[in-house]
Amino acid sequence: MSPRLLGFYSNLFGIKTKFTFIWEDIEEIKEISVAINPSIVIFLRKGRGLDARNGAKGTDSMGRVKFQFLSFVRPSTAFRTITALWKNRKLSPEQQMELVANVEAVDKKYLEGERQADDAESFVGMEEAHMSQVCSFEIPLTMETTKTLFEKGKLEEVVAEKMGYVNWKSSAWERVDGQQGFVERRQFSYNLNRQISQFGSKVSCIQQRTIAENMKSCVFDEVFTLHDVPFGDHFQVQAKREIETLSTNPAKSYVKASVGVAWHKNTEFKKSITKNVHEHMAKEIREMMNISVKEVRARAKKP
């Protein structure tokens, strides 16, 4: 954000999106406080922002281009900052920056994170995540059966509970147009059990799955945002799980998982955090699949 415009860039699941529009083109800003992933929706004046349509969510009933922004580490602070710049767009750049500083001062956690970032070396933009394979193993399930573990329902909730995920919430899968193969996307969120994390932090995720036409393989791509953890606003965790059926009788699939960390800000703890993320995710993925296999087998034995 700058005194004149709002700019956006993302590289989500290999799909790059980049656009800008000026504050004067905005007609309305809404904060959507849903449980899964709070978002900010921006409506441009009719006929404005046509060159930014590649990042739009579509148009509303009034013909206004609509943008929806998700996965904020601190949604309320982001909403107040964006709204303050928009409503005071006629102030001088110096006055606007002072205004933003006052908004950010309300959030003490934000200031603490900023002070830590200031102590580190300069860092511009968002670093692309370098994906590294963290684990691979076989499970006694076919890909099609494994896919049901990621469907919204009782089985997923039971697995989440046994993983120590509290307040698990997920949206329905939505088809993603313009992609090769059968691609769907959803959001989910949960809180970490305090026995697992002393911070009791919230995790939100955008998950995408691509299913092969022969129904023998599937790829799950995920982008995790960690809230209320040290340096949580510095990075995002990206994961890829590839599942392929090796045989149907007996049922057997090969699972390969890769993990990467995309950095928004630099810190002297970057290497240790990345290492910890890789180790944690490898353990998490194995544990989740083990619990899932036990649950599927237990349900299969029930009359």
Pick from 72-76, 107-111, 141-145: least confident: 107-111
Confidence of residue 210 (pLDDT cuts 50, 70, 90): very high
- Domain segments of the chain as ranges: 5-106, 132-301
Q: Would the pLDDT of 115 be above 50?
A: no
Q: CA-to-CA distance for 76 and 196, rounded, in angstroms? A: 26
Q: Which of 201, 279, 235 is nearest to 116 (CA)?
A: 235
Pick from 32-36, 53-57, 81-85, 284-288: least confident: 32-36
Length of the chain: 303
User: How much is the mean pLDDT over the chain?
Assistant: 81
Answer CATH for 132-301 from 3.10.20.740, 1.10.3720.10, 1.20.140.10, 3.30.530.20: 3.30.530.20
Q: CA-to-CA distance for 251 and 235, rounded, in angstroms? A: 38
pLDDT in tens, 116-149: 444 444 444 556 788 999 999 999 999 988 888 8
3-state secondary structure of 30: strand
> Whose structure tokens read 């494994």?
146
- Which amino acid, one-letter code, is at 286? R
Question: Average of pLDDT values for 93-109?
Answer: 66
Could you list the beta-strand ranges (E) of the chain: 5-12, 15-22, 26-32, 39-44, 58-59, 65-69, 132-139, 165-170, 174-175, 182-192, 202-211, 217-226, 235-248, 251-263
Stronger pLDDT, 120 or 243, i.e. the higher one: 243
Q: Based on the number of CB atoms within 10 Å of its own CB, is 78 exposed (0-12), middle (13-18) or buried (19 or more)?
A: buried
Confidence of residue 38 (pLDDT cuts 50, 70, 90): confident
Q: CA-to-CA distance for 269 and 273, rounded, in angstroms? A: 6
- pTM reported for the whole predicted model: 0.69
Q: Which of 138, 168, 139 is nearest to 155 (CA)?
A: 168
Q: Would the pLDDT of 193 be above 50?
A: yes
- Is residue 303 reached through a cis peptide bond, with omega within 30 degrees of 0 on the bond before it? no
Residue environment code for 153-168, b if the CB has 16+ CB neighbours within 10 A, otherwise e: eebbebbbeebebeeb
**Over pLDDT 90: what percentage of the chain?**
24
pLDDT in tens, 264-297: 778 888 888 899 899 989 999 999 999 999 988 8
Q: CA-to-CA distance for 75 and 89, rounded, in angstroms? A: 21
Q: Which of 205, 277, 208, 213 is nearest to 242 (CA)?
A: 208
Question: Average of pLDDT values for 147-167?
Answer: 86
Count of Cβ atoms closer than 10 Å to residue 83 Cβ: 16
Q: Would the pLDDT of 87 be above 60?
A: yes
Count of Cβ atoms closer than 10 Å to residue 249 Cβ: 6
3-state secondary structure of 171: coil
- Provide the pairing of β-strand 217-226 with 65-69: unpaired
Stronger pLDDT, 103 or 74, i.e. the higher one: 74
3-state secondary structure of 125: coil
> Whose structure tokens read 């922004």?
69
Q: Would the pLDDT of 47 be above 60?
A: yes
Q: Would the pLDDT of 195 be above 60?
A: no
Residue 237 near residue 125, CB atoms below 8 Å: no
**Over pLDDT 70: what percentage of the chain?**
85
- Which amino acid, one-letter code, is at 109? K
Q: CA-to-CA distance for 39 and 206, rounded, in angstroms? A: 13
